Amino acid sequence: MLDILQTVLITIATLAILVAVHEFGHFWMARRCGVKVLRFSVGFGRPLLKWTDRSGTEFVVAGIPLGGYVKMLDEREAPVADEFLSQAFNRATPKSRIAIAAAGPLANIVLAIFVYWLIFLNGVTGVAPVVAEVAADSLAARAGIVAGQEFIAVDGKSTPTWETLQMQLLERIGEDGDLHLSLKYPDSDLIYESTVPLNGWMQGIEEPNPVRELGVTLYMPALLAKLDQVMPDSPAERAGLQSGDLVLAVDGNEVANWSEWVDYIRDVPEQSVTLLIDRDGQQRELQITPERKLDESATAYGYVGVSVAMPEWPKSMQRSVEYGVFGAAVAAVDKTWQMSAFTLTSIKKMLTGLLSPKNLSGPITIAKVASSSVQYGFYSWLTFLALLSVSLAVLNLLPIPVLDGGHIVYAFFEWVTGKPVAEQVQVWANQLGLVMVVFVMVFALYNDVLRL
């Protein structure tokens, strides 16, 4: 129950920040353009908190935290007194309406740049992508890649860490042509160039993993059965297990890694087992009885309430980059541009069938990722916040009626032709746009449920 509550609160906080920044962009630009703002709302439904400023704008925090809006004075929505006609949105110039519509997404872009700037200012640490294994007869094997080599570039772009390698490979989803890889051995400056021919690579694959699809397993330290957190009032705490304990054996069966320990415990719900552990160099035996729990398919499994202690990476495999204030700003702008382009490319590939639409995520996945990112640390959550902010900006700029991009198209048409889009055409287009948006949201939610 506490985990669910934490997930809900973190998701609400994340969405509230994104929505507040987005709507503030519209609000700020509307006032700069002389358009009167009647209401600034974060959330929908019954107001939980509201106040009015000196300009007569009502600020609202509502109970359904799944969006927000800025309501402006507009003759199309309600009669406007003669003395306020000059402040009506529909009376604003096309250029002003374009600026107001674009200001929301641009505010999210600015937020992403600021968040990435904070991240880069703190320095970026990653793990070198060193090949541990190459599957027989895989793309990597046919390209001559061998264990021990380190990826240093994909298509000429540097890949110093796991993350950068994955991102560069993901950009080639569904494409044809040659994938150019540059590798080297850790203790050598000699560069090995490999070419992998692609033909609709990973096209239509759900949750694509490009490194795995190449046939490569990257090196990581052995994940031992060493305990990190012991949950309060759990079977592990009652048995006397402590953070830092290393499980050596269960019922006399040697435990080589974390996976073996987890598999054994899951198979013995409500059965007493004997543990041999190492604590500060001394071995001792403990008795523990896993609780019985049910998974999504109503299958029983054992649970003891512990988490794994992550292993330390060798210093030689850690890659750290430090930035100054200006350097962090340049890197933040570059990262925001890269993620914006990647989002647009992904949308294009999804529409053309090169990328499986099952990769589309909805609120449940967002909630799960938001919660898990906080567990990995504040900067991990910041990274997720920046990514969501970029996605919100790009999606809202798409030329779909009811979205900001649709309003920009209407205003641009009027700017160029000198005539507004016919009101009936706008009504039909908005209805079509609303159907499209609702369909995408329902499909994304459907994908979320399948993932559960």
* pLDDT beyond 90 at 379: no
Mean pLDDT of all residues belonging to the chain: 89
Q: Taking residues 124-148, what's their average pLDDT?
A: 92
Report residue 298's pLDDT band, with 50, 70 and 90 as the boundaries: confident
pLDDT for the residue numbered 2 = 55
| 124-221+312-321 and 227-308, same CATH topology | yes
Report residue 215's pLDDT band, with 50, 70 and 90 as the boundaries: very high
Report residue 417's pLDDT band, with 50, 70 and 90 as the boundaries: very high
State yes or no: is 23 an active-site residue.
yes
Task: Quickly name the fold that domain 227-308 has.
Answer: Pdz3 Domain (2.30.42)
pLDDT for the residue numbered 71 = 94
Which CATH architecture is the domain 124-221+312-321 placed in? Roll (2.30)
pLDDT for the residue numbered 284 = 92
pLDDT for the residue numbered 451 = 61
For the ranges 95-99, 269-273, 366-370, which has the lowest average pLDDT? Answer: 366-370
Strands (E), 289-375: 291-294, 300-303, 306-308, 318-321
Strands (E), 241-336: 246-250, 253-254, 273-279, 282-288, 291-294, 300-303, 306-308, 318-321
Question: Considering the chain, what percentage of its residues have pLDDT values greater than 90?
Answer: 57
Report residue 43's pLDDT band, with 50, 70 and 90 as the boundaries: confident
Distance, in Å, from the CA atom of 357 to the CA atom of 274, rounded to the nearest integer, reads: 47
Distance, in Å, from the CA atom of 153 to the CA atom of 28, rounded to the nearest integer, reads: 43
* pLDDT beyond 60 at 452: no
Tens digit of each residue's pLDDT (9 = 90 or more) over 165-208? 999 998 898 888 999 999 999 888 899 999 999 988 888 777 78
Tens digit of each residue's pLDDT (9 = 90 or more) over 301-350? 999 999 988 888 888 888 888 899 999 999 999 999 999 999 998 888 88
Domain boundaries, the chain: 2-33+92-121+387-451, 124-221+312-321, 227-308
Q: Taking residues 63-67, what's their average pLDDT?
A: 79
Report residue 12's pLDDT band, with 50, 70 and 90 as the boundaries: confident
Tens digit of each residue's pLDDT (9 = 90 or more) over 239-260? 999 999 999 999 999 999 999 9
Question: 320 pairs with which residues across the strands?
Answer: 125
CA dihedral sign of residues 232, 234, 238, 240? negative
At residue 6, φ and ψ (nearest 5 deg) are: -65, -45
